Structure 1
């Protein structure tokens, strides 16, 4: 994951812990007590970002093998096809796009006389994406047995395209539900914040004494469990 994203997530987690520490304990000790939540928040956001990057790479890979198929249809060899596909991708995606970096690396490996199928297996292994792994295996088998690579790549592209469209439809359908879930997660803390600002005297007995700390810790525990439960309900893997 990009370093800037990691720093941003840590800052977000730290701010969240400060807010919770103030709302539930109003003390530095409370903030320190809740600091492990930063790690949990980082791990959760990291999984979300990785999932988004995998989906984006899957889409870019579909375009990559589509360009490769066009190059093979034009009469280029497989090795030359990756070079042509890379040029095509550079006109489609901005500099630094994941698929451009990957195809550039594959092209460099080919220039170093590393077999194409080995370079693809390496890419598939690093990506951890099912479609890329499957394509690598099919490609290796076809290359070894002398199959029609152009037809195989075209068929694979169609299959991946259909799967990506289904994934996009699922993401679109659950987007509204995730938005509602995010609002539900904010509401309890929002209510406590409102009461802290509008009626501070009413909440005063809940702070800086053992009974109040126990009550607020219990409420916080229920809140965090509800937060996690909501995440599980809307966490549909695509």
Structure 2
């Protein structure tokens, strides 16, 4: 079976949830309050940056209008964070399933035990993995095929590890292999892969913090010079040559921030 069977076909406006209220994890619809809040926050920061470089409220206002684009950026960040959280939650589910299978339980009972175990780990009933496991167990209790529920979950999650698990499970079910043993070994392999990914993410997180600290230094330097040196910085704000230099300065800083973000944005 190919992974493409699980992929979501994007429409002009993809649904956020399916008919059962289960989410498509590649989608997130911001409320008007969120959009306004993020736009204002970004706008205020950009206004301060513009004022720092030009000391001109009109130019600074132009900078602040760029904040209207921030909700789109923030939406992508929220989606990525939610999928990362779901991946980590799925790792715990796999650990529970693998343990139950090793104890001799059937695959269906392993999923039931996993739900009970994760309820202790995640007290909030709205945790994504709990909602998914509840739905999967409910489908099994109605004597519906477990592989169909896993395929639906994999399609909506669009996460590689969940794809892999659903694919192996469905293939083994159709070919009549040793389902319990195959699923147990698959969960172990996926768990190990997720552990390696988490180690890489931890290392990257530390580097990203260093990167953020470095990129804000130029703003502090300019702010300090503007406040502490009096007339020393006046030509930079009142002359054409000075404004050209300041423009080149923030463009260079913006390019450095963009390039460093691209370098650090490693999807593992």
TM-score by length of 1: 0.83
Deviation at 1:92, TM superposition (A): 1.8
Please tell me the root mean square deviation across aligned C-alpha atoms, in Å. 3.0
Greater helix proportion: 1
Q: Which runs of no fewer than 5 residues in structure 1 stay unpaired?
A: none
Aligned residues: 238
For 2:219, the equivalent position in structure 1 comes to: 189
CA contact (8 A) 1:66 1:153 kept: no
**What is the distance in 1 between the residues matched to 2:128 and 2:158?**
14
For 1:178, the equivalent position in structure 2 comes to: 208
1:155 equivalent in alignment to 2:185: yes
Deviation at 1:209, TM superposition (A): 5.7
1:120 equivalent in alignment to 2:161: no
Distance 1:119 1:31, change over 3 A: farther
Q: How does 1:89-168 map to 2 (within 5 A)?
A: 89-95=118-124, 96-111=126-141, 114-168=144-198
Q: Which runs of no fewer than 5 residues in structure 2 stay unpaired?
A: 1-27
CA contact (8 A) 1:120 1:136 kept: yes
**What is the distance in 2 between the residues matched to 1:71 and 1:83?**
10
CA contact (8 A) 1:206 1:215 kept: yes
For 1:169, the equivalent position in structure 2 comes to: 199
**What is the distance in 1 between the residues matched to 2:79 and 2:229?**
42
Q: How does 1:1-238 map to 2 (within 5 A)?
A: 1=28, 9-10=38-39, 12-35=41-64, 37-38=66-67, 41-72=70-101, 77-95=106-124, 96-111=126-141, 114-207=144-237, 210-238=240-268
Distance 1:113 1:202, change over 3 A: farther
Moved more, 190-199 or 201-210: 201-210
